Structure 1
Amino acid sequence: MFKFMELSDLYADACIRDESNNLMFLSIYGRDTAIHQMMAAFQLGWSEGGLHAFRLLDEQSGQVHPVSIGQSDRLTKFTGRLPRENLFGNLVHAWVYDPVLLQPDKASRIAWVLMDEPFSEASRDRLQRLVWEAYKALSPLPLLDSWREVVLRATESICLTFMEATSFPPLGGVSAVRIALPDSFADDLSSMVKSGMVGIEGEEARWIESARHEHRRRPGMTA
């Protein structure tokens, strides 16, 4: 758990920031009055005694993680109350988040994928499926599911930002990827079709096998 340092009696178990350290998602626990105080501080301007940033303290490691609130009017919250019989008494669990996490921005072709587990090799396939669904929601052209591996391989470095690899990685047992399709995505996809990388007759399977064969032929590389 992470202690919210600017206000008392608030603890977070997960936090996601974008590559500029702006808050995208916060899962936090506290009493009702503390949660309301936090949201009011987010909305008030700095001159009115509000917050423009806060810090989360990892009480196990002692490490402090700064979080910028950014434009607070883009944030929304959802709350639920824990059963009164729990160990800590009458607590509220709140999720503060940017709605773009739930609804892709098709105009800007931006979406996010969140997982309730840290990124690992074991979670790679699940992550790819979620990212591919985001691609299909954002793409100006239809995408066949059989194209997934080829298109993701060809565009990953341009379209995907793994938050774990940024200066502000996710906190807690979560992971996040930002998907941003460039204006050239339709042209790039058309080029893949013309070059035989993908198609409606299984071209992508042949391309993948050819790429794997070339991979195996390289000195010092494993299959």
Structure 2
Amino acid sequence: MLYQTSSHDLFCDAFFICNNRLMFASLHGRDAGVLSFMAALTAPPEQGGLTKLGFRQHGSDRLYPELSTAAVLYGLSKRMTKYMTHNFGMLTHVFLYSNEIVEPNRDTKTAWVLQTDCAADLDKAVWNCIDQLSDVPLLPHWQHRIAALLEEQGCIRRFFPSLSTDASVVGVQAAQVVIPEDFGELITGLLRNGSLRA
């Protein structure tokens, strides 16, 4: 299902809003509309810049639906391409994404996983993320025990397609991974008590 943006008549097949912040959007439209939208996105509000971006379903009159509107639009990067369609001619496709989605923060040991295939194995991607952020070498067969423990501590948050006040997820699935400061001690303790085996 395609959503229509509140600005510049672009169409969206996937978006992710977390805590009112736009994290990701896949947008399609004519080149002039996309370029005008990008200019409005980067302009200050007093010069006509966007202060919020709504995604509405076809037939809806509400420009800014309650659960599918982002009000925090900073720190976004873009990737653009063009493609030919049979009915509409040449269209432009834009991936808008928060920088933290693609770049893990090694100082705070925080990273995001975003998958456009909602049937893909999110657990595997989360484990790869944990492995990359960890200062401690990890063995593959530790995956389920460590991931479960981190999830219990609230260090892994998963986002599946749904619309809610915390996160609105359409056409993608995502996870946030945070490695706690005492992660090394945690692994050592699990090895000592036999919960993990080399």
Q: Above 0.5 in TM-score?
A: yes
- Aligned-partner residue type, residue 186 of structure 1: G
**In structure 1, distance between residues paired with 2:115 and 2:13:** 14
Q: 5+ residue gaps in structure 2?
A: none
The equivalences for 1:1-223 within 5 A come to 1-5=2-6, 7-18=7-18, 20-59=19-58, 64=65, 65-70=68-73, 72=74, 74-83=75-84, 85-118=85-118, 123=120, 126-157=121-152, 158-164=154-160, 167-171=166-170, 173-200=171-198
Deviation at 1:131, TM superposition (A): 0.6
Higher strand share: 2
- Aligned-partner residue type, residue 187 of structure 1: E
**In structure 2, distance between residues paired with 1:47 and 1:184:** 46
Larger deviation, residues 59-68 vs 90-99: 59-68
- Aligned identity (percent) is 25
- Aligned-partner residue type, residue 87 of structure 2: L
Q: 5+ residue gaps in structure 1?
A: 201-223
Deviation at 1:177, TM superposition (A): 0.8
What SS does structure 2 have at the residue aligned with 1:128? Answer: helix
Task: Indicate conservation of the 8 Å contact 2:31/2:92, yes or no.
Answer: yes
* Residues 1:110 and 1:93: Cα distance change in structure 2 (over 3 Å): same
Task: Indicate conservation of the 8 Å contact 1:27/1:96, yes or no.
Answer: yes
Task: Indicate conservation of the 8 Å contact 1:42/1:69, yes or no.
Answer: no
Deviation at 1:60, TM superposition (A): 6.5
Higher helix share: 1
**In structure 2, distance between residues paired with 1:197 and 1:62:** 56
With the length of structure 1 as denominator, give the TM-score of the two structures: 0.77
Task: Indicate conservation of the 8 Å contact 1:9/1:31, yes or no.
Answer: no
**In structure 1, distance between residues paired with 2:193 and 2:60:** 52
Q: Return structure 1 stretches of 4+ with deviation > 3 angstroms.
A: 60-63
Select the structure of larger CA radius of gyration: 1
- Aligned-partner residue type, residue 118 of structure 1: C
Task: Indicate conservation of the 8 Å contact 1:56/1:66, yes or no.
Answer: yes
What SS does structure 1 have at the residue aligned with 2:105? Answer: coil
Deviation at 1:61, TM superposition (A): 7.4
What SS does structure 2 have at the residue aligned with 1:186? Answer: helix
What SS does structure 2 have at the residue aligned with 1:37? Answer: helix
What SS does structure 1 have at the residue aligned with 2:168? Answer: coil
**In structure 1, distance between residues paired with 2:115 and 2:178:** 18
Q: Which has the higher contact order (CA 8 A, sep 6+)?
A: 2
